[in-house]
Amino acid sequence: MNALGVPRRLWKIIAGHTILTLPVVTLLVLVRLEGLDRNQEIAALDSGARPWRAFLTVSVPQALPGILAGTMIALAISMDEFILTFLVTGSQQTLPLYIFGSLRIRVTHELNAIVAQQRVVLARALVKRPAVLLLDEALGALDLRVRRQMQDELVRIKRSTGTTLVHVTHDQEEACAIADRIAVMKDGLIAQVDTPEALCRAPRSSYVAGFIDAGTIVRGRNTVAEAPSRYPTPT
Amino acid sequence: MTLTGKIPSYLNEAQTITAVLPRNRIKVSLAKGSSDQANAVRGTVERFVFTGSVFNTHVRVIEGLEVRAALTIEEVSMLGEESLHPDSYLELHWRQEDIVFVEDS
């Protein structure tokens, strides 16, 4: 198993890739076959041609543009996501590999379907092996249950690929669940960077404390009693 | 209301300092008799909300200041849920080291 948790063997890469591209080819061929003139094939049969011969000489040439278009698109996908990644970078962390791994998960209901879809989106982003990946409110549209599952998925991917994820979120719980370090922003500047635990235990400003909802903020007057104690008294 | 604690070394005297009372470190008890305890304050319950994991108890301690305490289900059972309803009179207390002093921003 490689870093993405999928098999390394080449034939499995090809199988995964075939599964990916097959629907594209099939769709285009079917569209072309939809407009097929059956009369020509019937005429050939009436002329005494064998069915297989009539299919090859009459129907296949008519469907050929669809087959060629599908093949070209499949090839383009291959060039982009399989050959380039596999041959140029030498990496086996290809999209077909990752999706093949995802497809082995039995999609039993909507939850798995959404998670699988999100995994594919992530896989597409990870296929070029970026050093840093920006996720801008990536889980915002998901319901709580799916979001939590995707949070676990992000943590797993982060650990297994070593990719740095910059995850933008307004959800403090989500930030704590995913992040090794959290940067709280204020007016475009970083107000504090810390681990989730440190941030919650020791926010450095009232803005950060309020943002992470650390507790009740009490503003008041500071009075030094005896070093190093202070007394903020509410006014 | 006076809050006492040790300020972090990165804050200096020139800065305006604000105190944070972490809601999960505040203990709640029923206010009985008179009390002049340090690190404690009394007030009336404004809101009592179950969030799914804890009960957030909002206690108005002075005009314009509500202190929130997060109570576990066990803590609420021990206190009795009826004694935490709005207008109940409670005492909140904490350890001096529980208060977090931060820069006011």
pLDDT, one tens digit per residue, over A17-69 is 777 777 777 877 777 777 777 777 777 777 777 888 877 777 777 777 777 77
Say if CB B4 and CB A223 are below 8 A apart: no
Question: What pLDDT score was predicted for residue A2?
Answer: 47
The chain-wide mean pLDDT, for chain A, equals 75
pLDDT of residue A7: 46
B49 touches chain A (CB under 8 A): no
pLDDT at A42: 78
What pLDDT does A3 receive? 45
Average pLDDT of span A159-185: 90
Give yes or no for residue A105 having a pLDDT over 60. Answer: no
Q: Hey, are the CB atoms on A215 and B23 less than 8 Å from each other? A: yes
Res A6 pLDDT > 60: no
CA distance A161 to A104: 20
Region A64-81 average pLDDT:
72
The C-alpha of A229 sits at a distance from chain B's nearest C-alpha, in angstroms, of 5
pLDDT of residue B25: 92
Contact A219, A234 (CB under 8 A): yes
Which chain A positions have a beta carbon within 8 Å of B65's beta carbon?
216, 218, 234
Mutate to test the interface with A, among B4, B58, B104 (most CBs of A within 10 A): B104
- Residue with the bigger pLDDT between A211 and A11: it is A211
Predicted pLDDT at A90: 55
pTM for the model stands at 0.60
Each of the 105 residues of chain B gets a pLDDT tens digit; together they read 788 888 888 887 667 889 999 998 999 988 877 767 788 999 999 999 998 889 999 999 988 899 999 999 999 999 998 889 999 999 999 998 999 999 888
DSSP assignment letter at B67: E
CB contact under 8 A, B3 and A209: no
% of chain A surpassing 90 pLDDT:
15
Domain ranges of chain B: 27-96
DSSP B8: P
Mutate to test the interface with B, among A199, A208, A216, A229 (most CBs of B within 10 A): A216
Architecture per CATH, domain B27-96, reads as Beta Barrel (2.40)
Q: How many C-beta atoms surround the C-beta of residue A89 within 10 A?
A: 13
Q: Which of A24-38, A111-125, A155-169, A212-226 has the highest mean pLDDT?
A: A155-169
Least confident of A100-114, A193-207, B70-84: A100-114
Residue A162 confidence (pLDDT)? 85
pLDDT band at A107 (very low <50, low <70, confident <90, very high): very low
With a cut of 90, say whether residue A106 has pLDDT above it: no
What the block records as the tokens of B16 is: 């305006």
What is the ipTM score, two decimals?
Answer: 0.87
What's the gap in Å between the CA of A24 and the closest CA on chain B?
A: 46
